[in-house]
Amino acid sequence: MTHSGADISTLLETNGLRPSRALGQNFVADPNTVRRIARLAGLGPSSSVLEFGAGLGSLTLALAETGARVVAVELDRHLLPVLRSVVEPAGVQVVAGDAMTLDTAGLLAEQGGGPWSLVSNLPYNLATPLVLRTLVEVPAVEHLLVMVQREVGERMAAQVGDPAYGSVSVRVAYFARSTLAGRVPASVFIPRPRVESVLVRMERRSEVAVDPAQVPYARLAAVVKAGFGQRRKMLRRSLAGVVEPEAFARAGVRPEARAEELTVEDWGRLAR
């Protein structure tokens, strides 16, 4: 049984709680939405799923309904007792911690087995760093389905030629193939956000897009950020001092090109 809007309101009022704007808390209050997310994630009894920012457990309960093993992480100490009372009877393991500093790789290793899926309604202000941290540091997470602000999700899933294509698109593409999996209306949240949300699906590549022995992720990210930092300029200008002038010819990249014209593989050759 997942939470309706009335359930969310009752849980908040009964426990003297208010959604924290500082923590970006917008609770999903629609059973159809959370069950749709669980279905899109392709979960079942043999699945292992991690959720960041479980809140009051709306999505958590839908994940547990699939029969999957669920580990739910929550930072807000005021919400934790309520969350535990709601989801632990459904077999969910609740972990108190900050997803931005938690040793997530170690946590999942303690659980044994894999692969893992990350399925979460992410705080809008932390969505990009949380996704990138997971891709960089937690290889056990092979599948991601995250709900984020529409503009952020479009950047995560953008390909060369898309208006939203940018630095985040390339850094995500280094690790994963991403697609938009659907929209989520603001009306299903309490409180109602002022922005639209989308679901982004990411499937981790069996091998990263650029050979890490030749181009470590940190090097690629630095070059990409520099290139998109002045995206209206030609790359020979925006990357001055970051790559050598001769690198363009060796990489097969026109120095007159602009950042949004390069694929992740192009960036890899240039960074090398």
Same domain, 132 and 199: yes
What are the tens digits of pLDDT across the range 24-55?
Answer: 778 899 999 999 999 999 999 999 999 999 99
Q: Specify the CATH number for the domain of residue 74.
A: 3.40.50.150
The predicted pLDDT at position 48 comes to: 97
Same domain, 124 and 149: yes
What are the tens digits of pLDDT across the range 146-199?
Answer: 999 999 999 999 999 899 999 999 999 999 999 999 999 999 998 888 889 999
Same domain, 123 and 152: yes
In the sheet with 176-184, reading across from the earlier edge strand, the strands are 93-96, 69-74, 48-52, 116-121, 141-149, 197-204, 176-184
Q: Specify the CATH number for the domain of residue 233.
A: 1.10.8.100
Q: Which domain holds residue 238?
A: 217-271
Same domain, 95 and 15: yes
Same domain, 170 and 239: no
pTM of the predicted protein model? 0.93
Same domain, 78 and 188: yes
Spatial distance between the Cα atoms of 117 and 202, rounded to a whole number of angstroms:
10
The predicted pLDDT at position 114 comes to: 78
Spatial distance between the Cα atoms of 84 and 265, rounded to a whole number of angstroms:
45
Same domain, 63 and 185: yes
Residue 124, classified by CB atoms within 10 Å of its CB into exposed (0-12), middle (13-18) or buried (19+), is middle
Number of domains the chain is built from? 2
CA gyration radius for the chain? 20
Return the structure tokens found at 129: 């760093």
- Do 254 and 237 meet the contact criterion of CB atoms below 8 Å apart? no
Pairing of strands 197-204, 141-149: antiparallel
Spatial distance between the Cα atoms of 224 and 262, rounded to a whole number of angstroms:
10
Q: Which of 151, 179, 204 is the last residue of a domain?
A: 204
Q: Which of 122-126, 155-159, 267-271 has the lowest mean pLDDT?
A: 122-126
The predicted pLDDT at position 14 comes to: 84
Q: What is the mean predicted confidence (pLDDT) over 95-102?
A: 96
The predicted pLDDT at position 201 comes to: 98
- The answer to whether the bond into 163 is cis (omega within 30° of 0) is no
Residue 196 lies in a domain: yes
Residue 25 lies in a domain: yes
Residue 171 lies in a domain: yes
The predicted pLDDT at position 20 comes to: 80
